[in-house]
Structure 1
Amino acid sequence: MNILLVDDEELELEQLEYLIHRMFPNWKFFKARDASQATQIVKQQDIFLAFLDIQLPGKSGLELATELTRSYSMDIIMVTAFQNFEYAKASIRLGVVDYITKPIIEEELATVLSRYDRMARYSEQIVNALNIIHKDYCEKLSLNYLASKIHINSAYLSRKFHEEVGMGFSEYLNEYRLKEAQKMLIDFPDLSISTISERCGFNSQHYFSQTFRKMTGQSPRDYRLKETFH
């Protein structure tokens, strides 16, 4: 998996790469010193997880995170030397997966990254399948299409996907689309429910609303109202 580290201090970048590499030796690292370099990397690589320092020269890490979450599908973890509640609150509002402070303690980093333990054990075929889902979730994806893209038999992919991910392809795709819809409902308040439904790959607004309510216990409209005025 491709991991992006963004910090204006070279030593911080090297330390973070060293600590993460010890836990996940198969991950591939890309490093940037500012938002501009980070954006160039993201355009060229399928980044799965990004660590962004909040205090960057020029565009801040929070501003960069805002841009990345709107244009790309990746997990983001914010890093800062300041234990500031407002920063934490802003990070949570952006939908980042976590927030850690410097100096980075290996045990705390391990706790934050524990959610990726299972992902690190995925075979290359499943990692490739997940990357396609994360990139093209808004399209009409099917198991047969996915299998053809990674050059394996669809029945074999179906079995392997369930074994490694712990759920079927369709269930995973639906969950991923719903999570993206949750972010879109907050980030784009002017977009209609119908438009968000379509952009997240759902065939109909009715089905989207039905599955959204099943996952969250709320309608998309109620979720947006609650989160907007939270």
Structure 2
Amino acid sequence: MYILLVDDEVLELEQLEYLMKPHFPYWTFYKATDATTALALANTHRFSIAFLDIQMPGKDGLTLGMDLKALYELDIIMVTAFQSFEYAQKSIRIGVSDYITKPIIESELIETLQKYHKWNAKSDSIQQAIHIIHQDYAEKLPLSTVAAQIHLSPTYLSKKFLEEMGIGFADYLNSYRLEMAKKMLENEPDASISAVADHTGFNSQHYFSSLFRKNFGMTPSAYRVQVEQTHRAGLQ
């Protein structure tokens, strides 16, 4: 899994990687000290998470976050030494996943990252499979296609995926598609439910809505209303 760390202080970058590496040993970290370098990396690698320092010379972390999201969907975690309501408001508006303050405390960082443990496969082959899912989830993506890309038999990949991830390939793919659908519902309020289903890899709106309700206890439309209400409350 590719992770982007951006901070104008090199020691801060080294510390962040040092704190995460023991807990996520199979993640690959890329570091940048400015927005220009970060965007160049993002155009070369598809990152799943970006940790962005808010205050940097030149383009700040919030602006960089918007630029990254314009490239593709990823989770953004803002990192700052300043606790500011204005920063929090802007973070909400650009769809930031989380917000942590410096000095970074290891226990708090790892607690923030608990939800990403499901991306922490043990072998290179399963890491590659997960990367392909995260990159191509919006396309038709049968197990056989992924297996061919990483030079494994479909049977072996299916068995190995379940063994390492504790969830089957198809279930993981649908779970990730649903998470991306949630983000689209949050960030694109004018997109129809049909468009959300289509853009996140589901064959039909009915199947998408049924699976969404089964997993989250509400329809996509109800979730969007909930998000809008929460957003308005956060800006008051």
Alignment TM-score, normalising by the size of structure 1: 0.88
**In structure 1, what is the equivalent of residue 63 of structure 2?**
63
Deviation of residue 102 (structure 1)? Answer: 0.8
**In structure 1, what is the equivalent of residue 185 of structure 2?**
185
Indicate how the Cα distance of structure 1 residues 213 and 26 shifts in structure 2: closer, same or farther if over 3 A, else same: closer
8 Å CA contact 1:70, 1:187 repeated in 2? no
Indicate how the Cα distance of structure 1 residues 110 and 204 shifts in structure 2: closer, same or farther if over 3 A, else same: closer
Cα distance in 1, alignment partners of residues 58 and 163 from structure 2 = 45
**In structure 2, what is the equivalent of residue 6 of structure 1?**
6
Deviation of residue 159 (structure 1)? Answer: 0.9
8 Å CA contact 1:73, 1:134 repeated in 2? no
Indicate how the Cα distance of structure 1 residues 168 and 118 shifts in structure 2: closer, same or farther if over 3 A, else same: closer
Q: Which runs of 5+ in 2 are unaligned?
A: 231-236
Taking the TM superposition and a 5 Å limit, the aligned residue runs for 1:107-146 are: 107-117=107-117, 119-146=119-146
Taking the TM superposition and a 5 Å limit, the aligned residue runs for 1:79-228 are: 79-88=79-88, 90-91=90-91, 94-117=94-117, 119-228=119-228
**In structure 2, what is the equivalent of residue 34 of structure 1?**
34
Indicate how the Cα distance of structure 1 residues 222 and 117 shifts in structure 2: closer, same or farther if over 3 A, else same: closer
Deviation of residue 72 (structure 1)? Answer: 2.5
AA partner of residue 112 (structure 1): T
8 Å CA contact 2:26, 2:121 repeated in 1? no
8 Å CA contact 1:54, 1:61 repeated in 2? yes
Cα distance in 1, alignment partners of residues 5 and 52 from structure 2 = 6
Indicate how the Cα distance of structure 1 residues 179 and 118 shifts in structure 2: closer, same or farther if over 3 A, else same: closer
1:77-117: CA deviations, max 9, x gaps?
22110123553465456554432211122333333345555
Which stretch of structure 1 is more off in the superposition, 88-97 or 170-179? 88-97
Cα distance in 1, alignment partners of residues 35 and 62 from structure 2 = 10
AA partner of residue 45 (structure 2): Q
Q: Which runs of 5+ in 1 are unaligned?
A: none
8 Å CA contact 2:95, 2:187 repeated in 1? no
Cα distance in 2, alignment partners of residues 113 and 209 from structure 1 = 28
Alignment TM-score, normalising by the size of structure 2: 0.86
Tell me, what secondary structure is at the counterpart of 1:229? Answer: helix
Taking the TM superposition and a 5 Å limit, the aligned residue runs for 1:15-34 are: 15-34=15-34
**In structure 1, what is the equivalent of residue 234 of structure 2?**
none
AA partner of residue 181 (structure 1): A
Tell me, what secondary structure is at the counterpart of 1:47? Answer: coil
Tell me, what secondary structure is at the counterpart of 1:51? Answer: strand
Cα distance in 2, alignment partners of residues 87 and 63 from structure 1 = 11
Cα distance in 2, alignment partners of residues 109 and 184 from structure 1 = 26
Deviation of residue 207 (structure 1)? Answer: 0.8
1:166-212: CA deviations, max 9, x gaps?
11111111111111111111211121111111111111111111111
State, as a whole percentage, how many aligned pairs show the same letter: 55
Matched pairs, number: 230
**In structure 2, what is the equivalent of residue 76 of structure 1?**
76
Indicate how the Cα distance of structure 1 residues 163 and 51 shifts in structure 2: closer, same or farther if over 3 A, else same: same
